[in-house]
Chains A and B, each alone.
Chain A
Amino acid sequence: MVSRAERLMNLHILLLGARRFLDKEAIRRACYPDHPDTPAGDEAFERAFERDKDSLRQIGAFIEVGTTDAYFDDEVGYRIPTEQTSLPEIRLEADEAAVLGLAAQVWQDATLSRATSRAVAKLRAQGIEVDAQRLEVMPPSIASTEPAFEPLWDAVQKRRVVTFDYHRGAAAVASRRRIRPWGLVRTSGRWYVVGHDVDRDAPRVFRLSRIAGRVRASGKSGAYDVPAGTDVRAIVRAFDPEAARVRAELLVRRGAGLTLRRRAESDRPAPADVAPGGDPGPWDEVVLEGGVEQLAGEVLSHGPDVVVVGPEVLRSVVVDRLRAVVETQGASR
């Protein structure tokens, strides 16, 4: 019994640098001795071969598909051209190589961290010595704890249609969505998937934390192309008002709100007659930038020590959320 890793190696070597396209029969004879010449064996071979091609592409091989016969173009063959499949030589200074060692630490989830490690191993193959100790840089640490991340990232790579249930807004019932995912964006600490909503026939943005249950991919790989010039980051900003960044004008009670003041653009005493809701303070005028939702959470956490003056989008989010608490939980006083 040939192990899968052994089979993949042999398939790669067989196709690598082949002068002509090799048809499936030749490939099967060379690399798939465990699949017998029966209808069931044929089917198992087809499945295994498809999966193996996908795996080789995932680790970087460029598999060229062409016809094996100059006169009849119905016989499909495969090869891996050496030049297109090989990593161009890259020369890195010692400090540049040190940076690579830190890059793999950025991703806290298995998929992206493995992909980064594989890329770094290819550079090590060229003899580059990666030593993270040489540089005093603090890599950020990015988690993707949402279970939807992995299947969506996989679908983005393979260009496969996905289906999932989505909560629009905070409390609404989940509805079934079908999209062609174009890409993933993280902003203000949240992951979004951008794609073409098949049923609505328009681009849409979905927050991963609001996806309920499993994400299912269906259909073939390479089912669509991402339209040229698509800027997924700009789409997220345009679609999700909560991802928009605003300049917040706040009143902060003197002596309170240190976490807000640290990031403030300006922080100065408010005029003595400033008294929101009749509260004389004293207050300070603090201005800082941030995502609406993130700022709203921070403002709320300070309770009656912070008041939003503007913009209205932030002020109304905060007021609505406070009102909801008083209305739903205030009765049990």
Chain B
Amino acid sequence: MSAAASGPETAPDQVARLLALVPYLLARGEVRLDEAAAHFGVSPAQLDKDLRLLFLTGLSPGLPGDLIEVDIDALEGEGVIRVDNADYLARPVRFAPAEATALIVALRTMLDGAEGEARGVLERTLAKLEEVAGADPETLLSLHVDEPVVPGDDLVPLLEGAIARGHQVRLDYHVPTRDERSQRVVDPRGVTRVENVHYLDAWCHTADGDRVFRLDRILSAEELDTPVEDPSRRPRDLTQGWFSDEQVAVVTLRLEPPAFWVSEYYPVLERREGPDGTLEVALEVASDDWLTRLLLRVAPHATVVEPEGRTTAFVAQARNALRLYGTDG
């Protein structure tokens, strides 16, 4: 789950959960607190709070007798939930437009990248949910996502499988800074997603060191029968930047609006507003080739503020590229 989604809960969020919880509890009759908490993906402590709120509500708030009954003794004693006098809440509330939209568009986006059996499952699920969401087109809000399929994502099941079985993997890997391919045998440790890209953390036998591989640059992967050398090695935390093992230099770039995405795509050490609506960001740069490629990709919307002299190769490359179009600028 993303960090962004774990912000403080609002009162409507809690009420939405309570209105889902009651039908579940009524249908089951008696449920263990920890079981119900797991079912709804909240902590038992949170669910306990929910139940103590539920206890205060009912048809005539403030008057005993018409309130929802929660067996507090059973809750505190045996950790068991019993709810009564809440029959009018026996059915969950229908999807709100935003909820139906978010769920259905998420599934449609998954469908775009799915193949084979998974595709069939997604199609069946979508058909059922779209029916429940209502035939009324107004029920769904306008939200469309055409997400390009990221090459390499299809390798995740293979790599996860090899990790689970403790097997080595042979990779055909593309090294972008040198634009060449190389064959390697690695001990895979973990697959992590940072932003939109998957990374494989592994011990590389060819390089004899820890290496991180971008999945979209793995041209092919094959699980071997040979076991990894040290199955106890845990994956490293890649979210803190994946250049940590290499020589890095800090470079400050000035970005114009079309290149602002750079500050979101790569981990930046520092960001501040620059002149004329620009953004200045400090990045860790592991190689000159990488920096040149980045500057070319966003050209002409990024310039190097410091250190000086880091743009020579970039401008020379741009000039050489321009010559190929039969023009010198």
- Provided the pairs A6-B56, A121-B17, A301-B296 are in contact, do residues A86 and B92 lie with their beta carbons within 8 angstroms? yes
A-B contacts, CB under 8 A, total:
376
User: Is A230 an interface residue when CB atoms closer than 8 A count as contact?
Assistant: yes
Cα distance A103–B125 when bound, in Å? 11
A–B complex contacts, Cβ < 8 Å, 12 sampled: A5-B53, A16-B88, A108-B4, A140-B147, A170-B256, A226-B142, A258-B179, A276-B324, A301-B294, A323-B329, A325-B300, A329-B303
- Interface of B (DSSP majority class): helix
Chain B residues lying within 8 Å of A106, measured Cβ to Cβ, are 106, 109-110
Contact yes or no, B88 A13, CB < 8 A? yes
Contact residues, B8-64 vs A (CB, 8 A): 11-24, 27-28, 39-41, 53-54, 56-62
Chain B residues lying within 8 Å of A305, measured Cβ to Cβ, are 179
User: Is B222 an interface residue when CB atoms closer than 8 A count as contact?
Assistant: no
Question: What number of B residues sit within 8 Å (CB to CB) of A?
Answer: 122
Contact residues, B241-288 vs A (CB, 8 A): 256-258, 260-261, 264, 277
Tell me which of B23, B60, B319, B326 contacts A326 (CB under 8 A).
Answer: B319
Q: Which residue of A lies closest to B180 (CB)?
A: A255
Contact yes or no, A114 B56, CB < 8 A? no
Contact yes or no, B19 A92, CB < 8 A? no
User: Is A216 an interface residue when CB atoms closer than 8 A count as contact?
Assistant: no
Q: What is the 8 Å Cβ interface bit string for chain B, positions 135-148, against chain A (1 contact, 0 not)?
A: 00000011111111
User: Is A68 an interface residue when CB atoms closer than 8 A count as contact?
Assistant: no
Cα distance A93–B22 when bound, in Å? 23
Q: Which residues of B contact A (CB under 8 A)?
A: 1-2, 4-5, 7, 11-24, 27-28, 39-41, 53-54, 56-62, 88-89, 91-103, 106-107, 109-110, 112-114, 118, 121-122, 124-125, 128-129, 132, 141-151, 153-154, 156-157, 174, 176, 179-181, 193, 195-196, 216-217, 219, 256-258, 260-261, 264, 277, 292-294, 296-301, 303, 311-312, 314-315, 317-327, 329
Contact yes or no, B329 A327, CB < 8 A? yes
Contact yes or no, A307 B15, CB < 8 A? no
Contact residues, A273-292 vs B (CB, 8 A): 276-279
B68 vs chain A, min Cβ distance (A): 8
Cα distance A141–B2 when bound, in Å? 10
Tell me which of A124, A187, A259 contacts B217 (CB under 8 A).
Answer: A259
Chain A residues lying within 8 Å of B40, measured Cβ to Cβ, are 121, 124
In the complex, which range does the number of interface residues on chain A fall in? 35 or more
Cα distance A332–B2 when bound, in Å? 44
Contact yes or no, B110 A135, CB < 8 A? no
Q: Which residue of A lies closest to B329 (CB)?
A: A326
Contact yes or no, B91 A303, CB < 8 A? no
B26 vs chain A, min Cβ distance (A): 10
Chain B residues lying within 8 Å of A123, measured Cβ to Cβ, are 92
Contact yes or no, A277 B27, CB < 8 A? no
Contact yes or no, B53 A113, CB < 8 A? no
Q: Which residue of B lies closest to A322 (CB)?
A: B322
Q: Which of B13, B99, B264 has the most CB of A within 10 A?
A: B99
Contact yes or no, A116 B99, CB < 8 A? yes
Contact yes or no, B103 A120, CB < 8 A? yes
Contact yes or no, B196 A122, CB < 8 A? no
Q: What is the 8 Å Cβ interface bit string for chain A, positions 50-88, against chain B (1 contact, 0 not)?
A: 000001111111100000000000000000001011111
Tell me which of B11, B54, B322 contacts A3 (CB under 8 A).
Answer: B11
Chain B residues lying within 8 Å of A258, measured Cβ to Cβ, are 174, 176, 179, 181, 219
Q: Which residues of A contact B (CB under 8 A)?
A: 2-6, 8-10, 12-14, 16-17, 30-31, 33, 55-62, 82, 84-88, 90-93, 95-96, 98-100, 102-110, 112-127, 129, 135-143, 145, 153, 156-157, 167, 170-171, 174, 182-189, 194, 209-210, 212, 226, 230, 232-233, 255-259, 262-263, 276-279, 294, 297-298, 300-305, 307, 315, 319, 321-330, 332-333
B295 vs chain A, min Cβ distance (A): 8
A188 vs chain B, min Cβ distance (A): 7
Contact yes or no, B132 A139, CB < 8 A? no
Contact yes or no, A303 B102, CB < 8 A? no
- Interface of A (DSSP majority class): helix
- Provided the pairs A59-B93, A330-B329 are in contact, do residues A108 and B2 lie with their beta carbons within 8 angstroms? yes
Cα distance A171–B113 when bound, in Å? 35
Tell me which of A122, A126, A212, A329 contacts B300 (CB under 8 A).
Answer: A329
Chain A residues lying within 8 Å of B16, measured Cβ to Cβ, are 59-60, 118, 121
Contact yes or no, A262 B219, CB < 8 A? yes
Contact yes or no, A9 B54, CB < 8 A? yes
A201 vs chain B, min Cβ distance (A): 20
Contact yes or no, B151 A262, CB < 8 A? yes
Contact yes or no, B320 A303, CB < 8 A? yes
Q: Which of B2, B13, B57 has the most CB of A within 10 A?
A: B57
Tell me which of A56, A127, A138, A330 contacts B24 (CB under 8 A).
Answer: A127
Q: Which residue of B lies closest to A243 (CB)?
A: B146
Contact yes or no, A297 B142, CB < 8 A? no
Contact yes or no, B132 A87, CB < 8 A? yes
Chain B residues lying within 8 Å of A302, measured Cβ to Cβ, are 179, 293, 296
Chain A residues lying within 8 Å of B326, measured Cβ to Cβ, are 276-277
Cα distance A136–B23 when bound, in Å? 31
Tell me which of A109, A183, A315 contacts B4 (CB under 8 A).
Answer: A109
Contact yes or no, A182 B142, CB < 8 A? yes
Contact yes or no, B101 A115, CB < 8 A? yes
Contact yes or no, B319 A210, CB < 8 A? no
Contact yes or no, B300 A324, CB < 8 A? yes
